[in-house]
């Protein structure tokens, strides 16, 4: 066993004994019971799984005003507003010492920040261990601290809150925005927990991250790769392997060929080097935060006076969360509310920025007051000057980059200046500037364009006549529509009203009105059927678009909703390539990759779709989403705008090409640049999805190379398809 020397100044024996003497068994009682299954980390393990995560959040979901940073303590890329996940005023009032201030000299601020965060982490992780294990030895407490310090370094360089130069309070968001907070809780797998505050609230975040780490720490005692219970380094490495890879990976760190071996090596390096101590002048520096109070989840943990949530005098100006689930402002003696906390931005625009901490009064205290609940579409439509809502049409005044999420990663193409688009979703951020983003469909892909702020939105987009829209996804008033489902669609008195009748498949109706509601942008059409007026459900836009599954324009035929053999797909996210559907991992294929589909497989109760492709020398299967239930195919891979030439098409050669008897076979002749040849058939083969066309030239039939698809398409360098009358 390797002997380890721990810096005893990290925590003195006296301090450990003081913690042991406290009534620690009561702390974390609601957290310490049961096993919380966490698979966290900046590596985004779940984002590349072949099985869909339970919560299909897009990249950078509710990630407003994202800023960059550097890979150093306190400022890793990237960070987004604490709002709407949490209350920035509460953070500033309670956690000021552990907020990194971007507006001061960077070196001095990092020294100050690390001193404070070290003190907070030192106390909180020891407090947690002694709550779970009151008889832990001094050596184990010190080892547990060191392991958690290294974990926080590995995940986010001890980064959580930042006071950014744009004036907004940020929290770290890793893995394309899916990882929240210092311990990187993934919203695709733990969305309900994040809504409970376990992302933005630094102590909730740390506690939630320690749940799995502690269980793995204990399990490591009996692991085959750990020689003894007091081999602290090996226990720490096993605990991290589980934390990062799952319970079955407890000895992953011993396998240098594992795909995630780099993560285990990185953790060990940080555990050994303890470079965080370079920024800690006084390892015994006392934290000004009431760690025990925050760890127990008690109210009034800071110097801020506690607020009586049931006193109506404390309601005005604050964000008020009702027990019935709504998020509200108390204005004019009534609760003005939205269903989703993310839409509090709308109420803030109407009533001004909230003041003070948010509060949650009891049902008894609020029962006597009027409650007005507004749908996000009507609320934002009335509150934001010049906002175009879902279903309306806009003209792109200039070419604007299309992004996967509002302000997120560019998708590699732009809107076309002068083209008319239908708004499929909107996002508004910042109370004063009211930045707005619109989801549109361009290049057969859904994405968001920036559409300016309240002072200049007209320079980006402008309202446009519906009659000029060519790509209709949500039919409008006076359009003729057709019912798609074989079982028909129920006609109701209101979008969520009483049943009136069932409208059969194939029925053709005129649209009298269109209503869009809810966080999924669910569409309802007001129609007349057999002398009955009512509303038909028309599908949803977000979280698995289903519009065409319910309603289509009269005369419109269903298009291809997923790729088939012979098509080219483009990945909307990174996906693991596996030897068989759901089988062993071969390689991870990055987002944006263009791939030729050899075949497709559909299996499972929800019709899980898999594409057989080749990437980087590996032939296997990519998960492509599910066709039934909540359709998720657009979240994984989409039909690419790039297509191969079909049999009978003519190609104009852009350079001299060699014609061969077979792909990469013996040379027949060289066909000069500028020649037009007719395609007989096409072949895609090789590690890079090399494209070959069989053509006839001067009486000779053979194959010409036409470029490859990966890692970046070169098809356009070799030839172009020409259409001739």
User: pLDDT tens digits, residue range 267-298?
Assistant: 998 998 888 988 887 888 888 888 888 888 77
Asked if pLDDT for residue 650 goes beyond 70, the answer is: yes
Average confidence (pLDDT) over 85-103:
88
Give the residue with greater pLDDT, 52 vs 443: 443
Asked if pLDDT for residue 35 goes beyond 60, the answer is: no
pLDDT confidence bin for 53, thresholds 50/70/90: low
Q: Which residues contact 514 (CB under 8 A, 6 or more apart)?
A: 391, 474, 475, 476, 477, 523, 524, 525, 526
Q: Copy the structure tokens of residue 685.
A: 């083969």
Q: SS3 string of 349-417? A: HHHCCCCCCCECCCHHHHCCCCEEEECHHHHHHHHCCCCCCCCCEEEECCCCEEECCCCCCEEEEECCC
**pLDDT value of residue 298:** 76
Tell me which of 3-7, 139-143, 349-353 is least confident.
Answer: 3-7
Q: What pLDDT digit, counting tens, does each position of 606-645 carry?
A: 788 899 999 988 899 998 888 776 667 777 888 876 778 8
Q: Copy the structure tokens of residue 106.
A: 């960077």
pLDDT confidence bin for 2, thresholds 50/70/90: very low
**Exposed, middle or buried, 627 (CB in 10 Å: 0-12/13-18/19+)?**
middle
Asked if pLDDT for residue 522 goes beyond 80, the answer is: yes
CATH architecture of 568-639: Roll (2.30)
**pLDDT value of residue 302:** 66
Average confidence (pLDDT) over 559-578:
81
Tell me which of 56-70, 161-175, 231-245 is least confident.
Answer: 56-70
Q: What pLDDT digit, counting tens, does each position of 439-453 carry?
A: 999 877 788 999 999
Determine the distance from the C-alpha atom of residue 44 to the mean position of all C-alpha atoms in its chain, rounded to a whole number.
10
Average confidence (pLDDT) over 520-532:
95
Q: What pLDDT digit, counting tens, does each position of 683-706 carry?
A: 998 888 999 999 999 999 999 999
The SS3 of residue 333 is coil
| Mean per-residue pLDDT of the chain | 84
Q: Please choose, from the candidates 189, 187, 157, the residue with its C-alpha nearest in 3D space to the C-alpha of residue 78.
A: 157
Q: What percentage of the chain carries pLDDT values higher than 90?
A: 46
Q: Please choose, from the candidates 456, 442, 452, the residue with its C-alpha nearest in 3D space to the C-alpha of residue 403.
A: 442
Q: What angle do CA 342, 392, 517 make, to 5 degrees?
A: 40
Q: Which region, left, alpha or beta, applies to residue 645 given φ > 0 means left and ψ of -120 to 50 means alpha?
A: beta
Beta bridge partners of 438: 426, 449
Asked if pLDDT for residue 58 goes beyond 50, the answer is: yes
Asked if pLDDT for residue 506 goes beyond 90, the answer is: yes
Q: What pLDDT digit, counting tens, does each position of 322-348 carry?
A: 989 888 999 999 999 998 776 888 998
CB 513 within 8 A of CB 477: yes
Pairing of strands 161-163, 585-589: unpaired
**pLDDT value of residue 415:** 95
**pLDDT value of residue 193:** 79
Asked if pLDDT for residue 25 goes beyond 60, the answer is: no
Give the residue with greater pLDDT, 587 vs 369: 369
**C-alpha–C-alpha distance, residues 510 and 521, integer Å:** 21
Average confidence (pLDDT) over 380-400:
96
Q: Which region, left, alpha or beta, applies to residue 126 given φ > 0 means left and ψ of -120 to 50 means alpha?
A: alpha
Average confidence (pLDDT) over 52-56:
60
Fold of 650-722: SH3 type barrels. (2.30.30)
**C-alpha–C-alpha distance, residues 215 and 226, integer Å:** 15
Domain span(s) for CATH 2.30.30.40 in the chain = 480-553, 650-722
Buried b (16+ CB within 10 A) or exposed e, 505-535: eebebebeebbbbbebbbbbbbbebeeeebb
Asked if pLDDT for residue 4 goes beyond 60, the answer is: no
CATH hierarchy code of domain 312-382: 2.40.50
CATH class of residue range 384-468: mainly beta
pLDDT confidence bin for 1, thresholds 50/70/90: very low
**pLDDT value of residue 70:** 86
pLDDT confidence bin for 562, thresholds 50/70/90: confident
**pLDDT value of residue 666:** 92
**pLDDT value of residue 560:** 63
Please give the DSSP secondary-structure letter assigned to residue 281.
Answer: S
**pLDDT value of residue 409:** 61
Asked if pLDDT for residue 300 goes beyond 90, the answer is: no
**C-alpha–C-alpha distance, residues 496 and 492, integer Å:** 7
**C-alpha–C-alpha distance, residues 129 and 144, integer Å:** 8
Q: SS3 string of 125-143? A: HHHHHHHHCCCCCHHHHHH
Q: What pLDDT digit, counting tens, does each position of 103-159 carry?
A: 888 887 888 899 899 999 999 999 999 988 888 999 999 999 999 999 999 989 999
pLDDT confidence bin for 40, thresholds 50/70/90: very low
**pLDDT value of residue 365:** 96
CATH architecture of 480-553: Roll (2.30)
């Amino acid at each position: 066993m390797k002997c380890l020397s721990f810096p005893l100044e990290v925590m003195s024996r006296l301090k450990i004994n003081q913690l042991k003497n406290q009534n620690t068994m009561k702390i974390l009682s609601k957290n310490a019971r049961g096993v919380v299954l966490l698979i966290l980390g900046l590596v985004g393990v779940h984002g590349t799984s072949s099985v869909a995560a339970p919560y299909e959040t897009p990249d950078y979901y509710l990630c407003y005003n994202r800023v960059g940073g550097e890979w150093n303590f306190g400022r890793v890329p990237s960070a987004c507003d604490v709002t709407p996940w949490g209350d920035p005023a509460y953070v500033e009032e309670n956690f000021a010492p552990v907020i990194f201030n971007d507006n001061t000299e960077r070196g001095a601020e990092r020294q100050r920040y690390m001193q404070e965060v070290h003190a907070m982490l030192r106390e909180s992780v020891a407090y947690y261990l002694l709550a779970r294990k009151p008889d832990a030895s001094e050596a184990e407490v010190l080892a547990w601290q060191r392991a958690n310090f290294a974990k926080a370094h590995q995940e986010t360089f001890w980064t959580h809150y930042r006071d950014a130069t744009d004036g907004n309070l940020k929290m770290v968001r890793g893995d394309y925005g899916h990882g929240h907070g210092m311990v990187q809780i993934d919203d695709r797998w733990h969305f309900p927990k994040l809504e409970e505050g376990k992302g933005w609230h630094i102590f909730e975040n740390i506690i939630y991250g320690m749940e799995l780490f502690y269980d793995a720490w204990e399990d490591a005692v009996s692991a085959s790769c750990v020689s003894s219970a007091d081999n602290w380094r090996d226990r720490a490495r096993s605990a991290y392997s589980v934390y990062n890879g799952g319970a079955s990976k407890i000895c992953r760190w011993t396998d240098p060929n594992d795909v995630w071996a780099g993560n285990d090596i990185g953790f060990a390096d940080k555990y050994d080097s303890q470079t965080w101590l370079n920024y800690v002048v006084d390892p015994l520096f006392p934290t000004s935060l009431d760690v025990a109070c925050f760890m127990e989840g008690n109210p009034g943990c800071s110097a801020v006076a506690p607020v009586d949530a049931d006193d109506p005098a404390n309601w005005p100006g604050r964000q008020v969360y009702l027990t019935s689930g709504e998020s509200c402002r108390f204005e004019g003696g009534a609760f003005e509310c939205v269903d989703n906390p993310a839409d509090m931005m709308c109420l803030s625009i109407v009533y001004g920025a909230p003041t003070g901490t948010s509060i949650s009064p009891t049902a008894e205290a609020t029962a006597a007051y009027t409650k007005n609940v507004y749908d996000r579409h009507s609320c934002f439509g009335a509150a934001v000057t010049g906002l175009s809502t879902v279903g309306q049409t806009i003209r792109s005044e200039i070419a604007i980059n299309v992004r996967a999420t509002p302000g997120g990663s560019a998708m590699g193409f732009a809107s076309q200046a002068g083209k008319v688009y239908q708004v499929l979703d909107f996002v508004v951020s910042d109370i004063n500037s009211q930045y707005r983003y619109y989801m549109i469909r361009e290049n057969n892909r859904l994405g968001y364009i920036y559409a300016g702020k309240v002072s200049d939105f007209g320079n980006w987009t402008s309202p446009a006549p519906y009659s000029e829209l060519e790509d209709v996804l949500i039919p409008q008033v006076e359009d003729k529509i057709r019912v798609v489902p074989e079982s028909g669609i129920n006609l109701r008195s209101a979008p969520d009203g009483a049943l009136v009748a069932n409208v059969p498949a194939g029925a053709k109706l005129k649209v009298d009105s269109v209503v869009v509601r809810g966080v999924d942008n669910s569409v309802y059409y007001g129609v007349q059927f057999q002398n009955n007026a009512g509303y038909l459900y028309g599908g949803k836009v977000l979280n698995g678009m289903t519009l065409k599954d319910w309603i289509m324009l009269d005369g419109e035929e269903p298009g291809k909703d997923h790729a088939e053999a012979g098509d080219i797909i483009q990945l909307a996210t990174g996906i693991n390539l596996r030897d068989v559907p759901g089988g062993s991992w071969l390689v991870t294929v990055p987002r944006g990759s263009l791939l030729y589909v050899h075949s497709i497989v559909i299996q499972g109760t929800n019709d899980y779709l898999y594409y057989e492709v080749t990437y980087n020398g590996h032939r296997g299967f990519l998960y492509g989403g599910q066709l039934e239930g909540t359709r998720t195919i657009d979240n994984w891979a989409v039909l690419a705008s790039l297509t191969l030439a079909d049999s009978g098409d003519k190609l104009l050669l852009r350079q001299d090409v060699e014609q061969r008897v077979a792909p990469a076979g013996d040379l027949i002749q060289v066909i000069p640049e500028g020649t037009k040849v007719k395609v007989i058939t096409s072949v895609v083969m090789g590690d890079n999805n090399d494209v070959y066309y069989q053509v006839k030239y001067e009486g000779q039939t053979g194959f010409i190379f036409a470029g490859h698809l990966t890692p970046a398409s070169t098809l356009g360098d070799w030839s172009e398809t020409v259409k001739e009358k």
